[in-house]
Amino acid sequence: MTWTFELVTKRCDISGAEILVLHFSRQGIWIVATAVLWVVSGDSTWGQSYLGIVSSLTGGAIAQQPPESELILPVTSIEPIAADHRRFSRRHVDRSCHWNQHPSLEDAWPEDQSPVWQWFPNGLIYRSYLGSQRESRFASVLSKDEHLGWLWDVSLGGRVGLFRYGNGPDFWPDGWQLDMEGAAFPRLDPWGRSTPLLSTDFRFGFPITYGQGPWRFKTGYYHISSHLGDEYMINTPDYTRYNYSRDAFILALSYYFGRTPATRYDWRCYAEVTWADWAKSRGGVAEPWEFLFGIEYSPALEFRRGAPFAAIHAHLREEARFGGHFAVQAGWQLERGPSGALFRFGGEYINGKSTQGSFFKEYENRIGVGLWYDF
């Protein structure tokens, strides 16, 4: 059994098209393909062209191979398609591809789309605060404090959705969602012998979130506790260990604004309050109330090259007499994935009480560079 190939080239008298015809057969199975290679209008100027592509795929089991006249498509069936009289750069192609992947906000939710139950959905309804140091994410920040010297703060964690009742695309869903989060926040001495561990904060929780358009709400529960590192306790045996632990309920809201024609809003402001009334009753040093608020700029991305970002974040705690720390971040962010995950790199400045619970009384004034991956 062998294939029989035949290649025919014809020219269309009407449009001047070069027609390439390829048909082949193998024991009663025959296929014909026709393609227009290039069409040039006789009265066109430079840059004006017509490009038509006609493809035909026909097959069937027959007793005898049909004649050639039945295999070749009639030239008159080819209708050239007028192309735009301009050249497309790589930038235009990237922009077009991005718009196809991320529809506009008007097109993202059809009016007749009803909420549905989704188990383990992609994306988050209430996203993590970019400028916060206690969010469950992957991050690595190398900074220098004016008193403590070099510090290496790492975040090892993530946040996922368990189920959702809602609709909309994964990068911007509406409705209700239950999440699960967990992370460890180790602090190391980057230049010390064997890179000693100074302390680690552990966090896990179950946020319940709701979103509708630019408004996002969050409630739920989280636990956080802090522990000194073994090397640090050996090297500083006279340091007082504090039992810093919180089991807190959350109430938070955020609002997006500065809408662009692309896919998302550029700006976000937020506020959050947490309450853990039994924090001290269990022998800990944490007080019941803490407050978080801030504003961030994370624009809707139109190109694959990314865009700048900036965030201002404040975290006030009752155990610090409602003081706390103030953080500023700025840098570059890459294009969000289909679920809205975001990779960033840039600089960070923190001033105020330590972000580590074991050192909650210590004052920090540090500046550094970091990488962040937000879910």
Spatial CB neighbours of 123, under 8 Å, sequence gap ≥ 6 = 161, 169, 170, 171, 172, 173, 339, 340
Q: Tell me which residue has tokens 């802090």.
A: 226
Q: How far apart are CA 155 and CA 359, in angstroms?
A: 17
Please give the DSSP secondary-structure letter assigned to residue 172: S
pLDDT value, residue 332: 95
Is 108-374 a domain of CATH 2.40.230.10?
yes
Average pLDDT, the chain: 77
CA–CA distance, 34 with 48 (Å, rounded to integer):
24
What is 216-264 written as a DSSP string? EEEEEEEEEEEEE-HHHHHH-TTSPP---EEEEEEEEEEEEEEE-SSSS
The torsion angles phi and psi of 151, rounded to 5 degrees, stand at -135, 145
Quote the pLDDT of residue 266: 87
Contact by Cβ (8 Å): 220, 250: yes
Q: What is the pLDDT of residue 326?
A: 96
Whole-prediction pTM value?
0.70
Nearest one of 365, 348, 345 to 312, comparing CA atoms: 348
pLDDT over 90 percentage in the chain = 50
Q: What is the pLDDT of residue 105?
A: 47
Q: What is the pLDDT of residue 67?
A: 54
All residue ranges of the chain with pLDDT < 50 are 14-15, 28-65, 71, 73, 75-106, 108-110, 261-262, 303
Instruction: Give residue-wise pLDDT tens across range 223-249.
Output: 999 999 999 998 888 888 888 999 999
Quote the pLDDT of residue 222: 96
Return the domain boundaries, the chain.
4-82, 108-374
pLDDT at residue 92, as a whole number = 39
pLDDT of residue 305: 73
Provide the pLDDT for residue 170.
Answer: 86
Sign of the C-alpha dihedral computed for residues 143, 145, 151 and 157 taken in this order? negative
Report the pLDDT value the prediction gives residue 206, as an integer from 0 to 100.
Answer: 98
Task: Report the alpha-carbon distance of residue 64 to residue 71 in Å, rounded.
Answer: 13
Strand partners, 372: 139, 344
